[in-house]
Structure 1
Amino acid sequence: MTDGEIDDHSSMIRFLLYTCDVEVCAIIETNSIFQREGHSKEDWYENQLEAYAKVYSNLIKHNPDYPTPEYLKKVSFIGDEDHDHLRGLIKKRWELKPGAKTTFTPENWKDTPGSDKIVEVMLEKNPEPVYIQAWGGGNTAARAFYKLKKDYPDDYKRALSKVIMYNIWYQDGAGNYIEQNHPEVTMLYCGSFAGTWNYRSQKNTYDFIENNVKKNHGPLGSLYPQDYVSEGDSPAFLYSIANGLRNHEHPTYGGWGGRFTKFNQFEKVYTDAKDDGDIKKSLRRWVNDANNDFEARMDWCVKGYDEANHPPIVKTKGDKNITIKSGKKISFDAEKTKDPDGDELKFKWWQYKEPGSFDGSVEIETTNSKTVTFTAPRVSKPETIHLILEVSDNGSPSLKGYRRLIIEVVP
């Protein structure tokens, strides 16, 4: 869901280049306390879809899973843009955080094509998670959840238990309404986008946008409206990308979409977590990797497969989740990792401490080789360790592939 703010335009261009990595069920234009009328009456989004259509034939040379332009138009909808549903909230904007009082409830609101589409998707028998992103306000989802509870009581819990809703702030009253009235929904509240991805956060990227996005990269890149990377909403969809970091599997894992910790007032509400004591680091640590990947995908708009770069395909022997006893040695083998372009590869293994329950550090032998070994630490109760393998190629731009291994150490 997008409220059409200028940085949403920038995020949408990046998002369109990642539609091959997810199943896009709906793109919904909404409003927010900052964009009270929404922007669906303007043609910014339609212009981007037209530009996407012009580069589509080139994009599928790199990944055949890109959805057709016709499909994306078919799943585009208008949601709640009624400014009366935001009445008085701009004065309370800094109070709209997890645990705050409910300000609006949607029982008397009209359905919209956007809310009806959410209901339709949620009623499907498909048990897979449904990732809903609130780049602006979430009122459209709030109305959909209300309708599911009222009109489909037999399906309600099954349907909403599938939802992971990633909120870039709470930009209307929906966040507090949903967490208190629909506790089946997993709610992620991201405030750390500010200072990492939003306005003036990446002021070192003027040349990057000029040379790698706007110039000589086709009609989609030429629509990028800002002069530097300013995409406050991009973490919301980066969270759901299956790039090997498994960010999307659980809010506490961490990855391109940040890392979260449980909010103590609700069972399924999560807020920004700190890495190394820094609340912004769980997003900032991945920014360069994500931007390099974006640069490569902009190349996909205009270059043939052999002319562009593609990320390494990272593989390790065995399962991604391993159980081992204290004091035992264990080895991990990434010999089958390959690069689709034949580039040289560099390997880096490291312990991502914060997602794991084990508070200490593990000593990893030869962290820059394809195979590593370490000894499981002594523990008095089961503990988890998250081990990340980053594989970098020497292409232009240099791209990374990942593999996260979760090791449970038992006494």
Structure 2
Amino acid sequence: MTAAVLAGVMIAASGASAFAGDADSQPGGENAKPRVILMHDPELDDQNTLVRYLMYSNEFDTEGLVYSSSGVHWAGDGKGTLWHVAGREYTRFGLNICPCTSWRWKPGERFIDDAVDIYAQVYPNLRKHAGGYPSPKELQSKIYTGNIEFDGDISKDSPGSDLIRKSLLDNRPGPVYLLTGAGQSTIARALKSIKDEYENTPQWAQISTKVSQKAIIQSFGDQDGTYAGYIGKNWPGIEFRQMSTSIWGYGARNAVLPQDAKYLSAEWTKANVSDVGPFGAYYRVWGDGKQMVPGDIFDHFGFSGLTTEQLKAMGYVVWTPPQAKGSWISEGDTSIFMNLIDNGLRGYVDAGYGGWGGRKGSDTDPNGVPSGNYAASRWFGTAQQDFAARLQWTVAARYSEANHEPTAKVAGQVDRTVSRGQTVTLTGLTGDPDRDQVTSSWWQYADADTYPGTVTINQVPGGQQQHVVKVRVPDDAAPGQTIHLILQVTDNGSPALTSYQRVVLTVSG
């Protein structure tokens, strides 16, 4: 089946819709924001991911920005204690470096603090373009140190693990998203502390159920083995969402769609990222002359004009080939939060729904081949355009000086129970706060469906800012199967921005 069945007609509309209010009117309101604890180690791609996260920080209830360790970054205890884990990078590539007292961690590391300091510079502009951005003082108060001393060590509490423990035990409803682009030792320590305190008490059954239902881990892999070694074994009821995808990482050039390759180029990156304000200058690109840790033999990205052979002769481990100066390097961990952004795709509802961060499952690519990469790469160009617009917000002192997302809404419920043979009418309501012209389409996200076939989407005449379609539920749809239909709206601003609204039809019994 095709990955998307497009409605035949694109509608153009101009003028502001009824949904285009002031910047403080955010979909869902303050109380609907997902509770987030974000964890990173000092890898350059984590730094870049953090820049993007802060651009979207109005979308989240940020409870913590936590320094964390991983198999490739740990700080040591400052006491000269030697550490070694078999199979790590310091034992590969013909190396035999550790046991050592720390690994790829700069003394006094403060990349999270630095990013929040830059946020403070651009905050006055950001809040002109959207409501809900946390104050710099608030974000600064949310910076914690997790279990950073040793790779995979969960032997003692840390301020970061204490924060996670407190959040999981409080009585606020809804999930706590534990987002990690590093290892999971800080999470594991929090869970171990909870279990150690309550396991042999009458409250244990209630506490373990509460925590298991509340915690959702969204991680780029298991970067220190603590999920496999502790969390999965001792807390099997906690949902773990594997968010690793090539499109946001060092392998993006092998995953990007041909039409989106420009978003990795030096030309696009310079114009839309590197040259745009203090965050653009902070964002790591090829050949920028920087290193996260001076002398790090695995960080050759700051050099330009040198071949692989020349870099190796200088003592560097060249594990990915050099690229043009100024071009994209990586945002490897960005996928951990992209499905929580309120863009209408509702990727947070279920790991199989999918969104800008990809999804659990394969999507059928344009060549008809099932691909886990395509589940994320299909959205990459749109996400990059949106990021470019938000960076423009940081330097635009007036709302009128930048572009903003169009509106995509659906009249009625976005989750509907339907019967076989029923014809469902869907009314899409579109507009744009900048009075840009918009085009809209309805399409079936067949890869996310549990119904295995396709449906016909029939256009119905509507108003200037309405896109009405009728969809007949197939007679062969089984009870419980789902059909995902997406309203997609794109403006003609610069850069062009896209919003969505997903409707899920569930076949009744």
TM-score (norm 2): 0.71
Q: Does 1:305 find its partner at 2:425? A: no
Decide whether the 8 Å contact of 2:488 with 2:499 is kept in 1: yes
| Higher normalized contact order (CA 8 Å, seq sep 6+, divided by chain length) | 2
Unpaired runs of 5+ residues, structure 1, are 87-105, 261-272
The answer to whether the 8 A contact 1:29-1:40 is kept is no
CA, structure 1 residues 402+387, in 2 after alignment: closer, same or farther (shift >3 Å)? Answer: same
Query: Is there any run of 5+ residues in structure 2 with no aligned partner, and where?
Result: 1-38, 76-104, 199-203, 254-260, 286-325, 365-369
CA 1:144 to 1:376, structure 2 compared with 1: closer, same or farther past 3 Å? same
1:235-260 residue CA offsets vs partner (Å, 9 max, x unmatched): 00112212110100111111111111
Show the counterpart of 2:248: 197
Taking structure 1 as reference, are residues 380 and 10 closer, same or farther at Cα in structure 2, changes over 3 Å only? Answer: closer
Pairing of 1:13-32 with structure 2 (within 5 A): 13-32=51-70
> Which letter maps to 1:219?
P
CA contact (8 A) 2:127 2:133 kept: yes
- Partner residue, 1:242: 342
The one of 208, 213, 222 equivalent to 1:156 is 208
Shift of 1:85: 3.4
Contact (CA 8 Å) 2:71, 2:151: kept in 1 or not?
A: no
Task: Determine the structure 2 residue equivalent to 1:267.
Answer: none
Q: Is the 8 A contact 1:377 1:409 kept in 2?
A: no
Larger CA deviation: 38-47 vs 373-382: 38-47
State the match for 2:238 in structure 1.
Answer: 185
Structure 1 residue 326, shift from structure 2 partner: 1.6
List, as ranges, runs of 4+ consecutive aligned residues in structure 1 with deviation greater than 4 Å.
none
- Out of 272, 288, 293, which is 1:212 matched to? 272
* Residues 152, 226 of structure 2: 8 Å contact kept: no
The count of corresponding residues between Structure 1 and Structure 2 is 374
Equivalent position to 2:117, from 23, 47, 50: 50
1:381 aligned partner = 478
User: Once the 2 structures are TM-superposed, how far is the Cα of residue 129 of structure 1 from its aligned partner?
Assistant: 1.2
Maintained 8 Å contact 1:310/1:341: yes
Partner of 1:319: 413
Rounded to whole Å, the distance in 2 between the matches of 1:249 and 1:228 is 34
Aligned match of 1:328 in 394, 402, 422?
Answer: 422
The CA deviation at 1:136 is: 0.9
Instruction: Report the secondary structure of 1:366's partner residue.
Output: strand
Q: Deviations over 1:128-153 (max 9, x none)?
A: 11111110101000000111122243
Q: Counterpart of 1:406?
A: 504
What is the CA-CA distance between 1:44 and the residue it aligns to? Answer: 2.3
1:384·1:406 contact (CA, 8 Å) conserved in 2? yes
Name the CA distance, whole Å, in 2 between partners of 1:380 and 1:184: 31
% of aligned pairs identical?
34
C-alpha distance in 1 between matches for 2:469 and 2:446: 18
Q: Is the contact between residue 40 and residue 78 of structure 1 (CA under 8 Å) also seen in structure 2?
A: no
**CA RMSD of superposed structures (Å):** 1.8
- 2:333 is equivalent to residue 228 of structure 1: no
- Contact 1:300/1:308 (8 A) holds in 2: yes
Task: Determine the C-alpha separation between the residues in 2 that align with 1:326 and 1:381.
Answer: 8
Q: How big is the shift at 1:39?
A: 5.1
How far off its partner does 1:213 sit?
A: 1.4
In 1, the alpha carbon distance for the partners of 2:107 and 2:421 equals 60
What is the distance in 2 between the residues matched to 1:61 and 1:380?
48
Q: CA deviation at 1:189?
A: 1.7
User: Which is higher, the Rg of structure 1 or of structure 2?
Assistant: 2
